Amino acid sequence: MSTFTGSVSKDDQYRLPINVKPTHYDVTIKTDLENLEFAGFVKISVDVVDETSSITLNTSALELGKASIYSDALKIEQEESGGSFDSTSERVTYVFLKSLPAGSKAQLKLGFSAKLTGSMSGYYKSMYEVDGKQKAYALTQFEPTAARRAFPCWDEPLLKATFGVTLISRADTVNLSNMPAISEQVYSAAAAKPNEHPDLAKLYSTLDNTWKITQFQDTPPMSTYIVAFANGHFEYLEKSVKMPLSGKELPLRIYGTWIDVGLVSQFSLGNAATADVIHQAQFALDVKASVLPHYERVFDVEYPLPKLDTLVLGAVENWGLITGRTNAFLLDPKKADLQAKKWVAAVQSHEVAHMWYGF
């Protein structure tokens, strides 16, 4: 476990130094909804701008493992020789014995863990009731600066990078992220890849065949605050729409939790979509399918991602994975008046527009 001393200078308390810049994150997150905790490992590829023996990045509310860095120029991997953490600026600085040469590339590797809390910030949990029993789902809310509560990162909008997300979860749950899943399999020790870092090996050593691993396609370059992922017992409605510029069929889904309590269903404690109301997401799904081709024609720019999901739980726009509360996404076609339909249509149109002009 890392031991930190010292503090960050008050003259430069909040902005990160730019001696190195991140280019790609490989983020692995294991979510345990039974014990309400998560653990992870991140490998961050960086460009070394100026020669340096220290690296500073953001972290908050995470228990950190021992950091190491591999230098492409030096051809060596070195563990941190010391470090400091500043709780006010939410920054950790790692110091290494050998300096990284300017103009070189390196990979920072670091394990971490935390409890899933109900903070509605970072990676958090929400509870709902099924047949008198409490159940949980977990999702992210990173805007404006809470990605650092889910994994150590350069948590500033200017420092864009690509992200490769891998989610480990109970086999009977659903994993979601910004991009489509490219592989999903129940964990098997025989199929496990060699682990190059002790924290990653420790993460995989806790798994058995009741767990699964979902790997998602790498994202385009983007800011940390629009990275998104979720895990829970989700169901979905789906349809697809042919986009006018690319000619591609774009898959669309709306996810939510289903709570079946016989003849009577009720909203969950976390405002999740329930069994008797999940069909009410159909109107929002239809609106999304209508406005996507329209926006592509108006902006004359192809929709940039391979899919667009909506999760009826939290409330924030993320690239490729919109989350929103029930009153903005669900509508009973038998009872809703014109004003209610306008409201849902306006919210959907607003959220979809963000996929083009930003967040």
Query: Are the C-beta atoms of residues 123 and 167 closer than 8 Å to each other?
Result: no
Q: What residues are annotated to the active site?
A: 351
Cα separation, 39 vs 168, whole angstroms: 10
Cα separation, 228 vs 155, whole angstroms: 14
Which segments within 33-100 are labelled E, that is strand? 37-48, 52-58, 63-64, 68-71, 76-79, 82-86, 91-100
| Residue 354 counted as an annotated binding residue | yes
Cα separation, 331 vs 348, whole angstroms: 12
Cα separation, 149 vs 60, whole angstroms: 5
The CA-atom distances, in angstroms, between 217 and each of 166, 167, 168, 176, 244 are 9, 12, 15, 11, 24
Q: Using the 8-state DSSP alphabet, how is residue 218 labeled? A: P
Cis peptide preceding 304, ω within 30 of 0: no
Cα separation, 197 vs 289, whole angstroms: 44
The CA-atom distances, in angstroms, between 192 and each of 30, 182, 189, 203, 206 are 15, 17, 5, 12, 12
Instruction: Report the phi/psi class of residue 277: left, alpha or beta, with left for phi > 0 and alpha for psi in -120 to 50.
Output: alpha
Cα separation, 181 vs 320, whole angstroms: 12
| Residue 233 counted as an annotated binding residue | no
Cα separation, 258 vs 245, whole angstroms: 36
Binding site for Zn(2+), by residue number, is: 350, 354
Which residues contribute to the annotated binding site? 350, 354
